[in-house]
Amino acid sequence: MTQARKPVGAGAVLGWLALSALAPGAAHLRMGWRRTGLVLLGGYLAALVALLAVALLNDGLLGALTRDSSLTAITVGSVVLALAWFALVVHSFVVLRPGGLSQAGQVLTGTLAGLLAVAVVLPFAWAAQTAWISRQTINDIFDAPAAAPGAPESVVPEDPWAGRERVNILLLGGDADDHRTGVRTDSMNVASIDVGTGATVLFSLPRNLEDVRFRPGTPMAQAFPDGFRLPRDPGGGRSDLLNSVWEYADAHPEIFGGRPHQGPKVLMDTIGYTLGLKIDWYALVNMWGFARLIDAIGGVRLHVEQDVVFGRYNEGLVKAGTRKLKGADAMWYARSRTFSDDFTRMRRQRCVMGALLEQADPATVLSRFHRVALATKELIRTDIPRDMLEHLVPLALKVKNAEVTSVQFVPPLINTGYPDWERIRQITKEAIRDSESPPARAATAAPSPIPGDATATATATASASTTATASATTTASATATPRATPSGPRSPKPKGATQGLSEGCGAA
């Protein structure tokens, strides 16, 4: 029940009104609306305590916020809270009895109260819009559970990884455009992630890997029992390299009994067979969509070790030095083949992706969220199930704080024309084993140059990330001391097989 109070001055009205916007009920208590004020303030404090408890006690909160239901609830809740806070400011203004002020005071306080009522709505409107755009973006990118090849029909929350200790995600960079048919995967990396610790090994495979072998018993193995070999193109080039597997499988559905769009599945299985791993999912990144993502976060700071020339007529130039590059320049730095080779380009790609991984911090992503979301919709194609996302987000946070190392299968580590498949699988196995016991590796490791770096003026490595926030711990690894295993002595690891993700990229 209200109690009569003497009207306050214009300054006091505005002060109590501002306080009420931050602590609902303050103006009501000031003017004697004790019961109403206590209910408003008590409810507000209880809600803050509840939110804090949820945030502190729920380790998977960020993942849970990616659910469709959660994002819808945030959208609706933000709209309701915006209306409630607007009404609160208006009612608090009325309770403060501005009618007792002079005419000038009434005009001043009424105008500022109206502005405050609109201002308190803006954060909730931003939250609602952000949640809605997030929901649309996620639903556009991620498949329904049944769409992922070999995936279970539904994810069990108690064991989302279905007993797996590691997940292996194939990260692809494609250069498809409006003037090219099919998909050419010119960047192929497998991220092998320990689901317990987040320790990650990134395996990079060269686009020009020849004599590709397919898993025995598969349609491609039956079509190419001696390896992937085709006649040379009219211009003398080859269309039977590793980067052509997806495109070839899509273009020849007759090999698969008429089933179309087999490219992603075939490439996943082929690369998994090559490394001796089971690939769980893939994510295809459009290279120029990646450039738009870099622009969306305001550019990426890179160390360019030497001038990089690009363009049909060598008309483009990314100058040497350390500075922030826009998306187009960052992509040309990563992709140019002029006066270079595929292996140097692979290293530059790893540098761009490593820099993005380190520099796409949460504050930057949130401040430019709408641009980032729009760029991401054009960037990624994946078969990761929608309901796995809430489990992958906490895993990504583990990766951020864990060790990320890299193995590049380039000369002299391997011969791309005549690959030693058993050697590739053994190196993969050794790298994963080492990532699971970093202290042992650190005791036997020493810095070493990146494979294939002898022709480069300065070392530069390249790596990738999309979402967003992380910093990679750089490590160096060399010849490992052989240790006994149940099957006999372990063969020495080739020198320089494993590096830290950003190792050799220079100070940025």
- pLDDT exceeds cutoff 60 at 442: no
Percent of the chain with pLDDT over 90: 39
Instruction: Please give the structure tokens belonging to residue 109.
Output: 């306080």
What pLDDT, on a 0 to 100 scale, did the predictor assign at position 497?
59
CA pair distance 39, 24, nearest whole angstrom:
9
Are 248 and 239 in contact by the 8 Å Cβ rule? The answer is yes
Helices 342-359 + 327-335 axis angle, to 10: 150
Give me the half-sphere count of Cα atoms (radius 13 Å) on the Cβ side of residue 297: 29
Identify any residues that bridge with 185 across adjacent strands, giving them in sequence order: 174
Spatial CA neighbour of 421 closest among 150, 215, 174: 215
Query: Poorest-confidence range of 128-132, 349-353, 405-409?
Result: 349-353
Identify any residues that bridge with 499 across adjacent strands, giving them in sequence order: 406, 476
Average pLDDT of span 219-237: 90
Instruction: Please give the structure tokens belonging to residue 263.
Output: 């490219």
Query: Poorest-confidence range of 116-125, 206-215, 468-477?
Result: 468-477
Distances (CA, A) of 341 to 264, 335, 346, 379: 26, 10, 9, 26
Average pLDDT of span 334-342: 77
- 306 alpha carbon, distance to own chain's centre: 28
Element spanning 369, H or E? helix 369-377
What pLDDT, on a 0 to 100 scale, did the predictor assign at position 490?
42
Distances (CA, A) of 181 to 141, 177, 231: 22, 8, 20
Query: Poorest-confidence range of 99-108, 272-281, 397-406, 471-480?
Result: 471-480
Output the average pLDDT for the chain.
79
- pLDDT exceeds cutoff 50 at 248: yes
pLDDT in tens, 89-138: 999 999 998 988 899 999 999 999 999 999 999 999 999 998 998 888 88
CA pair distance 198, 403, nearest whole angstrom:
8
What pLDDT, on a 0 to 100 scale, did the predictor assign at position 318?
86
What pTM was computed for the model? 0.69
Sequence-ordered list of residues with C-beta below 8 angstroms from that of 98, at least 6 positions apart, any chain: 7, 10, 13, 105, 106, 109, 110, 113
CA pair distance 278, 150, nearest whole angstrom:
11
- pLDDT exceeds cutoff 80 at 441: no
pLDDT in tens, 27-69: 999 999 999 999 999 999 999 999 888 888 776 777 888 888 9
What pLDDT, on a 0 to 100 scale, did the predictor assign at position 256?
96
Percent of the chain with pLDDT over 70: 76
Sequence-ordered list of residues with C-beta below 8 angstroms from that of 350, at least 6 positions apart, any chain: 202, 204, 406, 408, 461, 462, 463, 464, 501, 505
Strand residue runs (E) in 195-278: 200-205
Helix boundaries (H) for 190-336: 219-223, 245-251, 263-275, 287-296, 327-335
| Placement of tokens 């030095």 in the chain | 321
What pLDDT, on a 0 to 100 scale, did the predictor assign at position 353?
73
- Give me the sign of the Cα torsion angle 325, 204, 165, 70: positive
What pLDDT, on a 0 to 100 scale, did the predictor assign at position 49?
94
What pLDDT, on a 0 to 100 scale, did the predictor assign at position 507?
58
* Confidence band of 464 (pLDDT split at 50, 70, 90): very low
